[in-house]
Structure 1
């Protein structure tokens, strides 16, 4: 006879994908009920820890690496590549922003240096700590990037979560001070661009996932290239760039380079590289539009033209990558990440 506790466990196990339940459900239910007296099972419930464990297993099995049906393998590969590419963009943008800011403040006289330092003082003890944290924590994107590519997954996961924290401050600031400016478009765009990659990395680069691999080059070379492109894009812009400018420019250059490598057959990523880039392009396009929209009537013409041109380039590239992704998914079987996919014969 089925007890109420068994029914509750089976309800929790429905969080798992169907393929996993077919193989493991009976075994898991038996283990859960093993040392529980049958007479008390109608008064018992799954513990919070057991529910959390099943939820985490459900996430890992849906973002699978091996032994799962093809849709789950493809989804897992796409999310892992999306997280890797997005963290690289964030890391380069954070380092370039701080290096350029320090360079400008240190080389334009004492007044500019005092203005730079005033951003971390005069706000009270708590406010000063918040400002310092907002400046320092995004540098952990770089730690996360190199930790991920050196297979230090726990360090990478902790680093991305800490690096993304400053993007929540615009939501909290209006609650504690009426003097803090509030721009919901900019705040939401910044939070999405930080937290979607962070959560993707934590979910998809689980302990059963393969080691992260770049499509081409070494981790240091890829980071240096992204930093150079991001820095150059900021320096040549004829107006003050916003938070989306450098990452979006770097993505446009990187995606064009990836398409060229793919055409030459030098891409080492799995079939889901195009899917990941298309998703990242769509996210960056949303951030570009959300950052630009509230200021359309106030921006100088040179910057407005540059931003609209960047949005157009992002749109065209995202569409092109989506077409490539559709062809890849239709023509290739899944392959282990880091190895060339197997192409079906005609």
Structure 2
């Protein structure tokens, strides 16, 4: 007769994919029950540690653990590439943004330096701390990118989570009274663009996953190329640049380059790459639309509106092409 504790264990084990349960469920249940007295099993529950370990195992199994069926292996590959591409995009964007800000500051003399410092010291201690952390922590995207490609997974996870933290402040600030409540669509989409890659990195790059690798190029050259494209987009068209202009341009150029490369080197395309770029494209498109909306009714912002609308159209076309390519890859594989 099945005890309540056994039924509870089996309910938790249903988090695991079916292929894994077929092979290991009975063995796991026997291990968990062990030498427990049958008379006390109706008053017991799985411990928090056991439940947490099962959840972690379920994530690993569904994201391409060794021996997983092809659909799970493909999903795991797509999740790992999504995290890698998104971390690269944000690392290049943050480095260029900080470099351009410092360049502007120190080429405007004392007035420019005073404006820069006032941004950190012109308010109370809480806002000063938030301003400093918001400026510094996103630089950890670069640490996460290089740590991940050098197979330093724990530092990469910690760096990505730290880099994503400032994206939460605009959503939490209304609770502290530092910001007026309202429909912060841009802040919400920007937080998703930061946290979804960070969580995907933590979940998909687990200890059983293969090392992270770029489809083409060395980590340093690819990062440098991303920085050049991102910086050039702002330097060449400063009047059209808003908060999303540079990363959206970088993604558009990178996605177009990948599509051209994929058309010529189909045999070398890693599984799930098109699916990963499609997911990232949808995220970037959502942030682009959310950032563009407030400019639609601002007088004298025709360059920002025109650039944003042009980017939106380009992102829609590229994301559609990536989705079609992903569908074809899935059918072929």
Please report the TM-score for the alignment, with normalisation by the length of structure 2: 0.96
Give the equivalent residue in structure 2 for 1:39: 39
Where does 1:249-264 land on structure 2 (aligned, <5 Å)? Answer: 249-264=249-264
Pairwise CA distance, 1:173: 1.4
Pairwise CA distance, 1:268: 4.1
1: CA distance between counterparts of 2:81 and 2:298? 37
2: CA distance between counterparts of 1:302 and 1:144? 34
Give the equivalent residue in structure 1 for 2:24: 24
Residue deviations 1:16-55, cap 9 Å, x none? 1111110110010011001312121111100111111111
2: CA distance between counterparts of 1:168 and 1:179? 13
Unaligned runs of 5+ in 1: 333-346
Question: Do 2:189 and 2:283's aligned partners in 1 also have CA atoms closer than 8 Å?
Answer: no
Give the equivalent residue in structure 2 for 1:10: 10
Assess, with a 3 A threshold, how the Cα gap between structure 1 residues 57 and 153 changes in structure 2: closer, same or farther.
same
Question: SS at the partner of 1:120?
Answer: helix
Where does 1:207-218 land on structure 2 (aligned, <5 Å)? Answer: 207-218=207-218
1: CA distance between counterparts of 2:209 and 2:194? 22
1: CA distance between counterparts of 2:61 and 2:106? 51
How many residue pairs match? The answer is 332
2: CA distance between counterparts of 1:301 and 1:267? 44
Give the equivalent residue in structure 2 for 1:324: 325
Question: Do 1:140 and 1:163's aligned partners in 2 also have CA atoms closer than 8 Å?
Answer: yes
* Structure that is richer in helix per residue: 2
Residue deviations 1:262-294, cap 9 Å, x none? 122187441211111111111111111111113
Question: SS at the partner of 2:68?
Answer: coil
Give the equivalent residue in structure 2 for 1:162: 162
Where does 1:1-346 land on structure 2 (aligned, <5 Å)? Answer: 1-177=1-177, 184-239=184-239, 241-265=241-265, 268-298=268-298, 300-332=301-333
2: CA distance between counterparts of 1:237 and 1:164? 28
2: CA distance between counterparts of 1:38 and 1:80? 44
2: CA distance between counterparts of 1:178 and 1:216? 45
Assess, with a 3 A threshold, how the Cα gap between structure 1 residues 240 and 116 changes in structure 2: closer, same or farther.
farther
Pairwise CA distance, 1:310: 0.6
Pairwise CA distance, 1:180: 5.5
What do you get for the CA RMSD once the two structures are aligned?
A: 1.5
Residue deviations 1:66-116, cap 9 Å, x none? 311111111111111111000000000010000000000001111111000
2: CA distance between counterparts of 1:62 and 1:155? 23
Pairwise CA distance, 1:10: 0.3
